[in-house]
Amino acid sequence: MPTMIGTRRALFPFLAILVFTSNVRDYQGHYFLWLVPGIRLVSANGLASSNGPASSNGPALERALIEDHPGYDPYEVDCPNPRPTIRNSISISPEEASWLEKRRNNTVWAIRDFLSRANISGFDTNGYIDKVANNATALPNIAIACSGGGWRALMNGAGGIAAFDNSTMNSTLPGHVGGLLQAATYLAGLSGGSWLVGSLYVPQLTSVQNLYRMDPNAGTSLWQFDNSVIKGPATLSITQYYNQIIDEVQNKGGAGFNTTITDLWGRGLSFQLFNATDGSPSKLHIF
């Protein structure tokens, strides 16, 4: 039976690490749990590569981009051929099972490096990894998720993801947890946490550092949270900003779909989170 390590959400959301293993004895009684304000663990879409922050997109994302649409308003498309069917969700799909085997094999080096730096007393890291390296189902299956909680969840979650990323400066020093992101299989977010995950995934899984680092070509960074959603980005006047958002939401209504204040709020957020023209209205359907 799988072993699950996690935490319940109390006064504040948390970051937890969920570890599944097919054999409890493989861990020799050692389990790993880290808590950081701002993130709570769930399962969802996965990381495609353990070789660093950047990765290739899976088939679902490729299809969404192929059917790209320049505006925010919904539109009709031809049904896929063959038409997809609703499957029994008791188990994962064959496609995910195939992907999991590849992904977990790609995390071997990251798990070995992470456990070696953890220097757990009485635990033979190399012996354990050598024993299970050729059996993907015996490897830890690590999932990370960012909880809901608006801007607080996004910012605290970003701190956790940055700490887990081995590309972050000093994240692999003794006592730090860099490399856990590269060892993970799943990364997901809920509400405010999904703002973070979406901001990372649209540019094909970049790093948190790249989101707030100054782009020398643009002369600015993507994340400019000192400019509020009410005010809009520095590159647009307030009049331009509101006219654009209102026009896009009205186009959705004109297409026959109900609109609410959430549409206005979501379009405002997109200017803060997506590195694309006009807040990337055409990419919002991915989420």
Output the pLDDT for position 278.
Answer: 57
CA 7 to chain centre: 19
Output the pLDDT for position 157.
Answer: 95
What are the phi and psi torsion angles at 91 (to 5°)?
A: -130, 170
Tokens of 55: 């990765």
| CB 5, CB 19: distance < 8 Å | yes
Considering only residues 24 and 148, tell me which one the structure prediction assigns the higher pLDDT: 148
Least confident of 48-57, 75-84, 92-101, 184-193: 48-57
Query: CA–CA distance from 236 to each of 28, 31, 272 (Å)?
Result: 58, 50, 12
| CB 136, CB 101: distance < 8 Å | yes
Considering only residues 217 and 199, tell me which one the structure prediction assigns the higher pLDDT: 199
**Residue 215: CB atoms within 10 Å:** 11
Output the pLDDT for position 30.
Answer: 35
With a CB cutoff of 8 Å and minimum separation 6, the contacts of 48 are 55, 56, 57, 58, 103, 205
* Residue of 137, 111, 140 lying closest to 126 (CA atoms): 111
Output the pLDDT for position 21.
Answer: 44
Whether 67 shows a pLDDT value over 60: the answer reads no
Mean pLDDT, range 254-267, rounded to an integer: 92
C-alpha dihedral (229, 235, 238, 243), degrees to nearest 10: -90
| CB 16, CB 40: distance < 8 Å | yes
Q: What does pLDDT average to over the chain? A: 75
What are the phi and psi torsion angles at 165 (to 5°)?
A: -90, 120
Output the pLDDT for position 240.
Answer: 93
Mean pLDDT, range 52-81, rounded to an integer: 59
Whether 12 shows a pLDDT value over 90: the answer reads no
pLDDT digits (tens, 9 = 90+) for 123-139: 999 999 998 888 867 88
Tokens of 106: 């790609």
Q: Note the pTM of the prediction, 2 decimals.
A: 0.70
Query: CA–CA distance from 179 to each of 73, 125, 198, 279 (Å)?
Result: 40, 15, 21, 31
Amino acid symbol at 63: R
Least confident of 144-158, 191-205, 255-269: 191-205
Rounded CA separation 104/82 (Å): 30
Output the pLDDT for position 159.
Answer: 94
Q: How many CA atoms lie within 13 A of 282 on its CB side?
A: 10
Tokens of 32: 């790993």
Tokens of 26: 């493989």
Rounded CA separation 245/92 (Å): 39
Least confident of 21-35, 61-75, 228-242, 251-265: 21-35
